[in-house]
């Protein structure tokens, strides 16, 4: 007897784009924004009143602590949102500038790009409406382009570096070999894997690339998918659409 079994459609969230932090009066919700979906990460409570400086400081610190693991993965765009006629988003950004300046210093390789948006991100429905908003799309495009340009500047410095302290690869096979060996060969410091959205969309080996992206994430490689129509994306396209670069630990 032949039984027709429907194959379960594989869930794809796409590639990471940004982190959205939605502030409310007594809590904040972090969302991972992917190219196809928004995924709730964590809800953080304000233990006290906003008029209590110590409670507000600890609350903002808990948000920064929750952001750090995501930033280490390579996502460098953080959108901070709060309802209209509130200062919650600005209060948090002021906290970052005062206590975590290293996160926004332009010359640091691991800096983040923070942007502010008016609107509530308290639940999935509100986040969906917010993400579909043209202002959000414009904000993401501006911040991710700035972020990509910064990474490309780092790459350019490595390309023209003299000596043997730099690894730059453009071949998918070579990149796979070095990423899959990462951990056995731990001589590398900061590692980046960049590819354009066009390269990913047009590739006939999407499963292979998605596997590379997942393993790269697991092995702490900073991965970014860049809009091919931006200056940074155009530069990556000159390498064939994908580039890996790394410097060894000192």
Interacting residues of 66 by C-beta distance below 8 A, sequence separation 6+ = 30, 41, 42, 44
Are residue 169 and residue 240 in the same domain, yes or no? Answer: yes
Distance (Å, whole) CA 167 – CA 133? 40
Do 167 and 91 fall into the same domain?
A: no
Number of domains forming the structure of the chain:
2
Same domain, 179 and 112: no
Q: Judge if 23 and 124 occupy the same domain.
A: yes
Say which residue, 203 or 12, is predicted with more confidence.
203
H helix intervals, the chain: 53-72, 88-99, 124-132, 134-159, 172-180, 197-202, 206-218, 231-237
Q: Is the residue at 11 inside a domain?
A: no
Look up the CATH number of the domain holding residue 125: 3.30.420.60
Sequence-separated (6 or more) residues with CB below 8 Å from residue 42: 29, 30, 66
SS3 of residue 193 by DSSP: strand
Residues 25 and 124 both lie in one domain: yes
126 and 207: one domain?
Answer: no
Same domain membership, residue 175 and residue 202: yes
Report d(CA 128, CA 38) in Å as an integer.
7
Contact 154, 130 (CB under 8 A): no
The residues, any chain, with a CB within 8 Å of residue 131's CB and separated by 6 or more, are 20, 33, 38
In a domain, 81, yes or no: yes
Q: Is the pLDDT of residue 119 over 90?
A: yes
**What's the pLDDT score for residue 1?**
45
Residue 45, beta-bridge partner list:
27
Asked if the structure places residue 78 within a domain, the reply is yes
Give the separation between CA 176 and CA 167, rounded to whole angstroms. 14
Q: What is the CATH classification number for the domain harbouring 178? A: 3.30.1330.30
- The average pLDDT across 153-169 equals 73
Distance of CA 195 to the CA centre of its chain: 14
Specify if 208 maps to a domain: yes
Quote the domain boundaries for residue 119. 16-132
Residue 2 included in any domain: no
pLDDT tens digits, 61-107:
999 999 998 888 778 889 999 999 999 999 999 999 999 998 887 66
Could you tell me if residue 142 is inside a domain? no
The answer on 161 and 219 residing in a single domain is yes
Identify the sign of the CA torsion 207, 237, 221, 181.
positive
Which pairing describes strands 27-34 and 38-45: parallel, antiparallel, or unpaired? antiparallel
Asked whether residue 117 falls in the same domain as residue 155, the answer is: no
Instruction: Please enumerate in sequence order all residues whose Cβ is within 8 A of that of 209, keeping only pairs 6 or more positions apart, or say none.
Output: 172, 195, 200, 203
pLDDT per position as a tens digit, 176-230:
998 888 655 455 667 889 999 899 889 988 889 989 988 888 888 888 888 888 8
């Amino acid at each position: 007897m032949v039984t027709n079994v429907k194959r379960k459609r594989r869930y794809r969230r796409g590639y990471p784009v940004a982190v959205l932090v939605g502030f409310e009066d007594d809590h904040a919700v972090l969302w991972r924004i992917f190219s196809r979906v928004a995924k709730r990460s964590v809800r953080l409570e304000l233990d006290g009143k906003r008029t209590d400086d110590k409670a507000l400081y600890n609350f903002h610190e808990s948000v920064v602590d929750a952001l750090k693991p995501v930033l280490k993965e390579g996502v460098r765009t953080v959108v901070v949102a709060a309802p209209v006629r509130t200062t919650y988003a600005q209060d948090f950004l002021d906290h970052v500038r005062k206590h975590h300046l290293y996160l926004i210093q332009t010359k640091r390789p691991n800096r983040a790009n923070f942007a502010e948006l008016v609107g509530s991100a308290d639940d999935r429905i509100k986040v969906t409406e917010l993400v579909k908003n043209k202002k959000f799309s414009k904000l993401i495009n501006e911040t991710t382009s700035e972020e990509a340009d910064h990474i490309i500047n780092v790459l350019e410095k490595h390309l023209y570096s003299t000596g043997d302290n730099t690894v730059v690869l453009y071949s998918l096979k070579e990149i796979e070999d070095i990423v899959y060996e990462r951990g056995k060969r731990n001589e590398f410091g900061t590692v980046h894997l960049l590819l354009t959205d066009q390269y990913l969309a047009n590739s006939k080996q999407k499963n292979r690339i998605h596997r590379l992206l997942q393993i790269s994430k697991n092995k702490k490689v900073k991965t970014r998918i860049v809009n091919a129509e931006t200056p940074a994306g155009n530069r990556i396209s000159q390498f064939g659409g994908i580039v890996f670069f790394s410097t060894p630990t000192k």
